[in-house]
């Protein structure tokens, strides 16, 4: 894969114009993505230049994020353009960054929360409880009582026991029956754990009726990082079946929740299939909501990591030398996405002091003069052998202790699942920027 430059190159502009079928809305700056890259590059370089590993206090050279709120703003406009019928409820678990939540709240999205803490975070922003769905089919009892007290009425269920629990704790909650989906083509399967099969939905609705519970809709999730648009089509059809099943029991369901799973790269295609399916199976009187997580935040966050150690490795048999680079962040930290989200973050050079090709220059490393490619493996800072970011990476620049690498697309399922293992920090500085005037205005940047 060709490394992309942080400073905008002609390539960026070309790829922008190739994507020209996506016409920017009025409120969106014209070359948003290119400007975004330039601004992120500047922010990364500014911070890195301010750090001297030889004199700094412990931790001042820690890995840090640059987050472009403008990117999130653009994703929201894109959602409205391609999936206008579906009202997004951002899945907080994906990245509960306070600035992200603040921007989304200001843009008017709803929120998908799965715990008391997530509900609190959103309510504290002044969001009306009616904009929250407690989308966890297997809830903690005290949290259900809390949701009731706070007026968070919408919640999902997928089993009989949960219905008895809700009857006892929050009998007039607005319930969504979560159904199973075919998530075999997704990155992270969720249907192994959640969702009622269509063989069971009849019994569930009958019990809900008997308990006089308020079922208002159907929910599904095609798996996080979904790749097959047909999964949405089938899920919408199955949801229709359950709407009809409920009608036969006297329920008039009002809302369909199409969940998350959207990936930025394939969003337009997914949205097209989903829109057609929705219009075919559900009249406009049915409200449709969604719970996108990674779609909104993945590309907004870039992380920079410091090379804290290097080990030269000599392969006497093959006669090749390679290097092991040790960074100050790894799979127990913000690269938790490697373990939990099956990601393969791509390293790029931010600062290579000893390289004749570049200092503080993020031009694509493959273009660095006549240097032969060097072989690297990249490791995190903990003492565990599984703490490996990349087993094999080639780069023409000679990297050493004190240099910096950066990784793009680090906004989803990264810092939210970081640990404190081995005494390394689970929270890192974030430099917030905005490449969209619309987002800057909402956030007061």
Ligand X SMILES: *Cc1c(COP(=O)(O)O)cnc(C)c1O
Query: Which residues make up the interface to ligand X (CB under 6 A)?
Result: 91, 93-94, 112, 135, 190, 221, 224-225, 259-262, 291-295
| Whole-number Cα distances in Å, 182 to 6, 198, 218, 402 | 38, 12, 16, 47
Is 383 among the residues known to form the active site?
yes
Check residue 402 and give left, alpha or beta (phi > 0: left; psi -120 to 50: alpha). Answer: left
Cβ proximity to ligand X: between 91 and 239 the closer is 91
Q: In which region does residue 222 sit, left (phi positive, over 0), alpha (psi from -120 to 50) or beta (all else)?
A: alpha
State how far the alpha carbon of 85 is from the alpha carbons of 24, 282, 287, in Å: 19, 11, 8
- For the record, the structure tokens of 173 come out as 């909650």
Indicate the residue among 93 and 348 with the shorter CB distance to ligand X: 93
> To the nearest whole angstrom, how small is the minimum distance from the Cβ of residue 316 to ligand X?
46
What whole-number distance in Å separates Cα of residue 4 and Cα of residue 362? 9
Q: Which is nearer to ligand X, 236 or 357 (CB)?
A: 236
Q: Which is nearer to ligand X, 75 or 358 (CB)?
A: 75
Minimum distance from residue 194 beta carbon to ligand X (Å): 7
Nearest approach, Cβ of residue 109 and ligand X (Å): 13
How many residues belong to the chain?
A: 445
Identity of the residue, 24 or 261, whose beta carbon is nearer to ligand X in the bound complex? 261
Report whether 212 contacts 248 (CB < 8 A): no
The answer to whether 43 and 445 have CB atoms below 8 angstroms apart is no
Helix axes 10-18, 32-49, angle to 10 degrees: 150
Query: Contact 46/39 with Cβ under 8 angstroms?
Result: no
The distance of closest approach from Cβ of residue 93 to ligand X in the complex, given in angstroms and rounded to an integer, is 6
Taking the complex as a whole, the smallest distance from the CB of residue 186 to ligand X amounts, in Å, to 8
| Candidate list 383, 388, 395, 416, residue with the active-site label | 383
First to last CA, the chain: 35
The least distance separating ligand X from the CB of residue 133, rounded to whole angstroms, comes to 9
Of 85 and 294, which CB lies nearer to ligand X in the complex structure? 294
Placement of tokens 């269920």 in the chain: 157
Q: Are 295 and 264 in contact (CB under 8 A)?
A: yes
Kindly list the catalytic residues: 383
């Amino acid at each position: 894969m060709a490394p992309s430059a942080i400073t905008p190159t002609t390539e960026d502009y070309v790829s922008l114009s190739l994507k020209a079928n996506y016409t920017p809305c009025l409120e969106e700056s014209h070359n948003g993505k290119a400007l975004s890259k330039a601004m992120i590059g500047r922010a990364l370089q500014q911070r890195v230049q301010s750090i001297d590993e030889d004199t700094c206090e412990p931790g001042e050279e820690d890995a840090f994020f640059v987050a472009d709120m403008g990117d999130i703003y653009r994703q929201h406009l894109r959602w409205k353009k391609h999936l206008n019928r579906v009202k997004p409820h951002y899945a907080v678990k994906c990245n509960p960054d306070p600035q992200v939540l603040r921007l989304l709240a200001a843009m008017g999205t709803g929120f998908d929360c799965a715990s008391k803490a997530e509900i609190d975070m959103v309510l504290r922003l002044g969001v009306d409880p009616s904009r929250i769905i407690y989308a966890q089919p297997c809830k903690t009892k005290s949290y259900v009582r809390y949701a009731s007290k706070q007026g968070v009425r919408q919640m999902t269920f997928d089993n009989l026991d949960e219905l008895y629990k809700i009857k006892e704790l929050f009998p007039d909650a607005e319930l969504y029956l979560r159904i199973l989906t075919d998530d075999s083509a997704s990155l992270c399967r969720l249907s192994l754990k959640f969702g009622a099969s269509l063989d069971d939905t009849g019994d569930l609705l009958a019990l809900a009726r008997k308990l006089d519970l308020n079922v208002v809709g159907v929910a599904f999730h095609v798996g996080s990082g979904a790749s097959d648009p047909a999964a949405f089509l089938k899920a919408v059809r199955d949801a229709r079946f359950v709407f009809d099943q409920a009608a036969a029991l006297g329920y008039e369901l009002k809302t369909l929740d199409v969940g998350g799973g959207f990936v930025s790269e394939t969003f337009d295609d997914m949205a097209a299939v989903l829109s057609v399916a929705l219009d075919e199976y559900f009249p406009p009187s049915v409200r449709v909501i969604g719970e996108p997580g990674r779609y909104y935040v993945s590309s907004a966050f870039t992380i920079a990591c410091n090379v804290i150690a290097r080990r030269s490795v000599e392969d006497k048999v093959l006669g090749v030398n390679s290097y092991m680079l040790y960074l100050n962040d790894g799979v127990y930290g913000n690269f938790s996405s490697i373990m939990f989200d099956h990601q393969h973050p791509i390293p790029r050079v931010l600062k290579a002091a000893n390289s004749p090709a570049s200092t503080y220059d993020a031009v694509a490393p493959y273009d660095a003069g006549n240097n032969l490619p060097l072989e690297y493996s990249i490791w995190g800072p903990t003492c565990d052998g599984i703490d490996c970011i990349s087993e094999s990476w080639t780069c023409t620049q000679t990297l050493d202790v004190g240099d910096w690498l950066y990784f793009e697309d680090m906004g989803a399922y990264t810092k939210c699942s970081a640990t404190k293992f081995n005494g390394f920090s689970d929270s890192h500085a974030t430099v917030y920027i905005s490449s969209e005037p619309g987002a800057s205005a909402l956030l007061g940047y």
